[in-house]
Structure 1
Amino acid sequence: MANGFEAAMRMMRSRDPQRAEDGFGLLRDRAAEYLPALIEEFENEQADRGLRSWLLELIGLAESAEALPVLAAQLNSQDEMLRDWAVAGLTRLDTREARTALWRARANGTIA
């Protein structure tokens, strides 16, 4: 399991766009299975904005309550792309807590 995740992450970091997309595709359908590792990668990745966005998208696709703190925190991100993926992930999660986080962010003016 870990080897598959690590291989997919290496692919996502590739300079070859198709290889990077293929790595994302490998993780997309298994995002829930790899959620803790995806969250760790997201929290540790600071340099590559595109990779952070992909990781947050995958975290949202996991549709897990475990993703709520990470997604909710990104509603306040300076990076609009991360905010957008946080909104998408919380919308997809569609729990009371997720809806409350979205409502608060809208009330505070951090998202539209």
Structure 2
Amino acid sequence: MRLMRSRDPQKQEDGFHQLLPHAAEHLNELIKQFEEEQDDQGLRGWLLELIAAAASPTALPILAAQLVGPDESLRDCAAVGLSKLNTPEARTLLWQARANGTIT
């Protein structure tokens, strides 16, 4: 997380890629960081991408909330995460979002 919060774009990118293969191991911390981050939309996007990459049922509530949220890029990331999760609940949420026109 320290690298992802750096002002250096390369360090941010490095931090993201270092965490990516370990997202499932740090899922609870990533969710906490996502919920606490309010200012940096780019960081929020990366955190949600890491949460989605974990492909864990623990991520379902946060992905579901972002699927219907106001930020289109977060909605898209949540849809990808729910697709990876591929549970009946995740598929239902995706179907509902498509039916409501929230995602395509």
TM-score by length of 1: 0.90
CA distance in 2: counterparts of 1:75 and 1:34, whole angstroms:
22
Where does the alignment leave 5 or more consecutive residues of structure 1 unmatched? 1-8
Structure 2 match to 1:40? 32
- 2:86 is aligned, of 73, 80, 94, to 94
2:18 to 22, 26, 33: 26
State the Cα deviation string for residues 19-56 of structure 1 (Å, max 9, x = none). Answer: 00111011100000000000000000000000000000
Matched, 1:64 2:74: no
Q: TM (normalized to structure 2)?
A: 0.97
Cα distance between partner residues in 1 of 2:78 and 2:11: 25
Runs of 5+ in structure 2 lacking a partner?
none
Runs of 4+ in 1 over 2 A off after TM superposition: none
| Cα separation, 1, equivalents of 2:7 and 2:36 | 20
How many aligned residue pairs are there?
Answer: 104
Identity %: 64
Give, as a single letter, the amino acid of the residue that structure 2 aligns with 1:74: Q
